[in-house]
A and B are shown apart, each in its own frame.
Chain A
């Protein structure tokens, strides 16, 4: 999994994905447009793009985008 590609996929789940700045250190819950449906969209994207069932409980444990990348990477191996 390439980090840049994941971040692009992650950003595309936001309604303003074209304009927000996101990197691995971003605390995603602090993004103004983050809401429950965006969170759900991220879980669906991870399932569809990476074949990984990340639950909302798992997502709760993540603070940054990098934490999600680490989770997906670990599950991919």
Chain B
């Protein structure tokens, strides 16, 4: 099953095995991967991971999107998973270096819109590495509730109402209102 939608000028479709090299390139990039959990190297391993993911996708447990620009070029990744009660978790937010500043942000907003508005969840959970300061600052703009921490990460929960307030502010600055 391939889920696809377009939002904020980006097209999102669920990942396929053909995306393995793109995913691997992002997740093993020395700069981009600084704050990620480790990724097994090798295309074959990545394809196997995607095959297992597709099973979860078909059980409506998870969606992993690759975003494309209007020319169909892959821009980045967003994943929604851990659907529990009325919350989803968001992660695997990873975009190519050198894009316009709006692209990764719009990708994040579109993915969260999908979780809140398409899937109908009331809140979004996420974790951020404590030393990933730029991402931490970005997320804190939404004023999420801190729900815990580990040695490496802070954990947050964001309600749909709080999300919408800051989303609309960002969209205005990005000329998408």
Residue A26 CB within 8 A of the other chain: no
Chain B residue nearest to A60 in the complex (CB)? B100
Residue A66 CB within 8 A of the other chain: no
Residue A31 CB within 8 A of the other chain: no
Interface residues on A, range: 20 to 34
Residues B134 and A38 in contact, CB atoms below 8 Å apart: yes
Q: Which B residues, 72 to 111, have Cβ-Cβ distances below 8 Å to chain A? A: 95, 97, 99-105
Residue A25 CB within 8 A of the other chain: no
Residue A54 CB within 8 A of the other chain: yes
Residues B137 and A36 in contact, CB atoms below 8 Å apart: no
Q: Which A residues, 40 to 57, have Cβ-Cβ distances below 8 Å to chain B? A: 40-41, 43-44, 47, 53-57
Shortest Cβ gap from B136 to chain A (Å):
9
Q: Complex Cα distance A57/B169, Å?
A: 16
Given contacts A36-B105, A38-B134, 13 further A-B contacts (CB under 8 A): A15-B137, A35-B97, A36-B102, A37-B135, A40-B101, A41-B134, A41-B138, A47-B169, A56-B100, A56-B173, A56-B174, A57-B175, A60-B100
Chain B residue nearest to A38 in the complex (CB)? B134
Q: Complex Cα distance A56/B97, Å?
A: 17
Residues B137 and A41 in contact, CB atoms below 8 Å apart: yes
B170: chain A residues at CB < 8 Å are 40, 44
Shortest Cβ gap from A33 to chain B (Å):
8
A37: chain B residues at CB < 8 Å are 101, 104-105, 134-135, 137-138
Residues A44 and B175 in contact, CB atoms below 8 Å apart: no
Q: Complex Cα distance A59/B150, Å?
A: 37
Residues B133 and A39 in contact, CB atoms below 8 Å apart: no
Q: Complex Cα distance A56/B173, Å?
A: 7
Instruction: Sort A-B residue pairs by CB-CB distance and give the 5 closest, nearest first.
Output: A39-B101, A36-B101, A15-B133, A37-B134, A43-B173
Chain A residue nearest to B141 in the complex (CB)? A44
